[in-house]
Structure 1
């Protein structure tokens, strides 16, 4: 059983958002869930302000986000790990990660935590999208992993726009992915309402259609199940942003919020859907359903030409230590997990897939 939490953070308040997240993990366990998924940068917020106000007006938001962001080996992460262990449930959590080396460096990150409280995968979004470049640093390939779990199958994940990247998606397919997690923000503005109506004639970004299209394509190509988990903009988040940028009120209020739902290996929707409100979506997924459609198109098996195509993936964790090596001590920003090293759960890739460490 899988659960997708279509929920809002306690806006820019990490302590209270972590507390809310732990409560939802406990609720997932009471519902006999194997895996609970949280939205993109659920802790402590998605920086939607970067899309609607000029960078010169957003210093306070940037500073607050940096101060509230998590260290991968910090106390907040340990609290989340303990919640998973105590409730015996897997969790995939999106969060803003800060660097040990720079107080102003942040990544759009996610972790997959086991039912024993271990971090099985730690991923940083490889390329921030559009206005996100004003907030986050680029990530790396260290987290492009599929983890083989007994309870949930072979689990992989990508963050938001990464699901548009065919090479990132194929990297997960090549590791035998059976369950693909994609996480999304509540809203993603691309233009002001006034511009849409009176000026350039373009349309506002349709995040529901865009998210569903990309995720369904991945499920169909990989012959895997999909979990789409979107955030929710609540009144507190809306009012705080509009108080900062009053001219954005019409734009913010015109946006369609994202949806949380599930897809099968044909790209068809299964289970619950939550959209436009806080709530939890449930789906019971039978991973054996991934087998039959492999007869038709197995792009990491008999329907591929590894003698023609060759993908190289650099899996090294990037950080200042890569360019400044006075010693060989581990750099915390290079660690996949505060308690363990190595490619936990990394599956041997097929021919045609080259891992570069």
Structure 2
């Protein structure tokens, strides 16, 4: 008896978000989900913070400018609460389309925001609602942190072992190794756009970060789906109110890719300023050949020399503590008699 390795079509989004408009963004998300499902895709991946779009204002000017322009308030108000009608509409649309979706979003929880990736099953149920472990650089002025439970790979029926990370989490060697060690087969590498600070910050550019996605595929011996957003003219008009801000960002920046376990590009890229969906047919059986050559968390590892320590416990900011009265040294019966 031989193993059965799933084969199916994947879809990777390269598109501009409907920036700072959650309802319209969900409309566009549902359109893309339905388009991918109609094309026979079983899995669709969206860019980082696709809803309501990446907060480019945090890179463009001082915090006082962001507040005065209304960006801080609008970004919070248009982020997604999982316990909301908007979230229910999204999960319902995924269920109706019969496709598994990995949606990048700004998660609103209480008074805080988190950089989230919501993995929704074809039945419309939540497989995972992860948070970016450590927001990058100025992102920490807007978003809170995830925890070790967010470094997880999930067995999805018919699709294999699915995992996801955001943006520069792909430059964190230990976080990557934690994912590899869980025998990840299909990885969603969500990116915002490669238009910011170009060309004077190569580390933020498409060449470096496409390379990070490609290396992840080879190191992890897995398929990498790397959706990427496009910065639209409307976003530039909203963000750039002075000539110096026009020098910081530009229309385009879309560089979505799909890589196989050997690092091969499975589809041609779209022009950086165009919107569309990349499709590829994948066969998880080819992972066997890749891992036969090098399995960094398996036979190619040396745990006697180097090992990873990971805390998978979910972070709980509030603990409810109940202390019996007699722990205070009070005899309640005697106290009552003295009254």
Shorter-chain TM range is 0.7 to 0.9
CA gap 1:188/1:106 in 2 versus in 1, 3 angstroms: farther
The equivalent residue for 1:289 is 286
Q: In structure 1, which of residues 222, 229, 232 is the aligned counterpart of residue 230 of structure 2? A: 232
Q: What does residue range 85-234 of structure 1 map to in structure 2 within 5 Å?
A: 85-100=95-110, 103=111, 105-187=112-194, 189-190=196-197, 196=200, 203-234=201-232
Distance 1:260 1:151 in 2: 24
What is the Cα deviation at residue 306 of structure 1?
2.5
CA gap 1:204/1:272 in 2 versus in 1, 3 angstroms: closer
What is the Cα deviation at residue 140 of structure 1?
1.5
Q: In structure 2, which of residues 254, 258, 265 is the aligned counterpart of residue 262 of structure 1? A: 258
Kept in 2: contact 1:52–1:189 (CA 8 A): no
Higher mean C-alpha deviation, range 268-277 or range 57-66: 268-277
The equivalent residue for 1:13 is 21
Distance 1:24 1:123 in 2: 22
Instruction: Specify the SS of the correspondent of 2:81.
Output: coil
Distance 1:160 1:71 in 2: 22
What is the Cα deviation at residue 225 of structure 1?
0.9
Kept in 2: contact 1:206–1:256 (CA 8 A): no
Kept in 2: contact 1:297–1:303 (CA 8 A): yes
What's the CA shift string for 1:251-275, capped at 9, x where partnerless? 323x761311110111121124223
Q: In structure 2, which of residues 63, 68, 87 is the aligned counterpart of residue 55 of structure 1? A: 63
What's the CA shift string for 1:52-85, capped at 9, x where partnerless? 1011211121111111111122222211111111
The equivalent residue for 1:3 is 11
What is the Cα deviation at residue 204 of structure 1?
4.7
What is the Cα deviation at residue 188 of structure 1?
5.4
Distance 1:73 1:317 in 2: 19
What's the CA shift string for 1:84-128, capped at 9, x where partnerless? 11111000000001112xx2x111111111100111111111111
What is the Cα deviation at residue 319 of structure 1?
4.3
What's the CA shift string for 1:146-186, capped at 9, x where partnerless? 11123222111110000111111111111110111101112
What's the CA shift string for 1:235-284, capped at 9, x where partnerless? 111111113x553113323x761311110111121124223211111111
Size of the alignment, in residue pairs?
311
Distance 2:221 2:133 in 1: 24
The equivalent residue for 1:74 is 84
Instruction: Specify the SS of the correspondent of 2:310.
Output: strand
The equivalent residue for 1:313 is 310
Kept in 2: contact 1:4–1:229 (CA 8 A): yes
